[in-house]
Amino acid sequence: MKGIHLDRYERLLLAKRDELLAGTHRALLTGGRAEGHGGDPTDRAAEETQTALQVHLSQSDSHLLRAIEEALARIRQGTFGVCDACKRPIAEARLKTVPWTRLCRDCKEQRSLKAS
């Protein structure tokens, strides 16, 4: 892949990483504010649901952050944009949509079908 394209993908990945880190930082700053307040059972249930959702989102964000870091490493190693499974180039349209992907569309679909 050409250097100019790699710069564009690196910028996309860094922007997404910064967005996720900012969201994580905000969640950490505001996460415990409601704790310790009584409230009625409905309020407590809503708080527990919100906390569970925040934990789930945080786990998803950490997986995505790891994938972004791995994609940035592939840029540095010169293997970005190459499918891990079939070793063919990943389509530009897929990379624009999911720049942290490791698989081309066909290999991703095959893995999804096998997992079903």
pTM of the model: 0.71
**CATH class, 3-115 region:** mainly alpha
pLDDT for 47 equals 75
Tens of pLDDT, residues 8-58: 999 999 999 999 888 766 666 665 454 555 678 887 777 777 766 665 566
Structural contact between residues 80 and 74, judged by C-beta atoms closer than 8 angstroms: yes
In whole numbers, what is the pLDDT of the chain averaged over residues?
A: 84
pLDDT on residue 84: 96
Contact 71, 80 (CB under 8 A): yes
- What residue segments make up the domains of the chain, in order of their start? 3-115
- Rounded Cα gap, residues 81 and 92, in angstroms: 8
Residue carrying structure tokens 């720049």:
99
**How far apart are alpha carbons 44 and 48 in whole angstroms?**
6
